[in-house]
Amino acid sequence: MKFIDEVDLKGKTVFIRVDFNVPLDRNRNITDDTRIRAVLPTINYCLEGSAKVILASHLGRPKGQRIEEFSLAPVARRLAYRLHKKVRFAPDCIGPEVDKLKKKLKGGDVLLLENLRFYPGEEKNDPEFAKELMKGVDIYVDDAFAVAHRAHASVEAVTHFAPSCVAGFLMRDEVHYFHKSMEEPARPLVAIIGGAKISGKLTALVNLLKHVDKLIIGGAMANTFLKAMGYNVGKSLVDDTLLGTAKDLMAAAISKEIKFYLPVDCVVADRLEKQAETKITPVQEVPQDWMIVDIGPATVTLFGEALQNAKTIIWNGPMGAFEYDAFGRGTMAMVHKVAESYALTIVGGGDTDVAVHKAGEFQRFSYVSTGGGAFLELLEGKKLPGIAALENWAKKNGHD
């Protein structure tokens, strides 16, 4: 695909699909603007090139209806603060009023459109909706990796109507780091996979066995593997329908001589609540009426030693229910272990991203992906619609 620094931007109207799906508190104040800051290099590059910049994003899940709590108005204010310049905010994303605002733009101006998902055509990949979005646009830029796995109108259909289609700097970094970690990794390549359910990451685990030298499993998904090995896991979250699959995955890892790591001790609680009673126990001694909520200190040491000689580390999913401080020590400890390694370190997945920020180690990671679902689908070996659309446009227009 083509990238934004390969086209002439001067005087052009540039439509950038960004991901401003940021978290808001009850008073609609932004609590974390990482996703806004992530696309500033692309926006500023366009502004420095005297382009007229139109930004489009979704926020939340309004399901095709105009719901004010999902308005991007708070984003416009934060973006203006980050850019140190005025950001015009459109009352809609298509229509006569928006068309007028587009025509009034001058080089160096920024216009943020209202929530794309206020229209059902966005998620339905409606070509007519996409055509409306592209009115008056010279260059389409996709810099929203977090929605690259969605065949939505502003991601896929728009590439059939834009005169020129390129990827932004954030998209380039996401693709570059993933390719570097999976296709051409410095070895040993270690994958750390956590989170709640094995079912949601089964395809990724199977695909990872084609690439990794070591596989570390933590979080609630480790419970299914432990139970498959015959351990009693009490009232822990387990996917009983995948016990056989877990056995097969472990057998496949052994046959490929992949080092496979599971927790050896754990933090257990009598209930999943802030005030729960907790204790540390070996995985062989989980009480019948308790549940596993985090990895234990011996496991942190084991996993840390497995990372000692790693040259590339990919991490997706926390090691426990880290949203509760008492159950987050294992995840926090692993953040520090990975940050202290001498490897290329790549983190993907919303929860893991939150943990890295919470531990104050963001700057020590090689790359922290902005996309949870998109990153996971790349781990599964899938071609993302957003990336495929840009590649297809480049091929059709002689940019192989």
What CATH number should be reported for the domain holding residue 264?
3.40.50.1260
Pick the catalytic residue from 107, 136, 350, 381. 350
In this structure, the answer to whether residues 193 and 337 fall within a common structural domain is: yes
User: 86-91: long-range contacts at Cβ-Cβ below 8 A with a sequence spacing of 24 or more?
Assistant: 86/110, 87/111, 87/112, 88/112, 89/114, 90/114
Domain boundary among 342, 357, 373: 342
In this structure, the answer to whether residues 159 and 191 fall within a common structural domain is: no
Alpha-carbon span 138 to 155, nearest angstrom: 16
Residue 266 within a domain: yes
In this structure, the answer to whether residues 139 and 206 fall within a common structural domain is: no
pLDDT of residue 350: 61
pLDDT of residue 374: 85
373 catalytic? Reply is yes
* Cβ neighbour number for residue 274 with a 10 Å cutoff: 10
Residue 378 within a domain: no
Cβ contact 361:335 at 8 Å: yes
pLDDT of residue 373: 81
Residue 88 within a domain: yes
pLDDT of residue 400: 53
350 catalytic? Reply is yes
35 catalytic? Reply is yes
pTM score, whole prediction: 0.88
Pick the catalytic residue from 64, 107, 136, 373. 373
In this structure, the answer to whether residues 135 and 275 fall within a common structural domain is: no
Pick the catalytic residue from 12, 17, 35, 337. 35
Could you list the residue range(s) of the whole structural domain that residue 108 is in?
4-170+383-396
Give the chain's domain count.
2
Pick the catalytic residue from 77, 88, 124, 197. 197
Q: pLDDT tens digits, the chain, 400 residues: what are they? A: 999 999 999 999 999 999 999 988 988 999 889 899 999 999 999 999 999 999 999 999 999 999 999 999 999 999 999 999 999 999 999 999 999 999 999 999 999 999 999 999 999 999 999 999 999 999 999 999 999 999 999 999 999 999 999 999 999 998 888 888 888 899 999 999 998 877 888 888 999 999 999 999 999 999 999 999 999 999 999 999 999 999 999 999 999 999 999 999 999 999 988 889 999 999 999 999 999 999 999 999 999 999 999 999 999 999 999 888 889 999 999 999 999 999 999 998 768 888 888 888 888 999 888 877 888 888 888 889 999 999 999 999 876 5
Residue 41, token pair as written in the block: 């290099």
317 catalytic? Reply is no
**CA distance to 125, 169, 172, 173, 184, per residue, from 176 (Å):** 27, 10, 6, 5, 10
- In the Cβ-directed half-sphere of 280, how many Cα atoms lie within 13 Å? 13
pLDDT of residue 325: 86
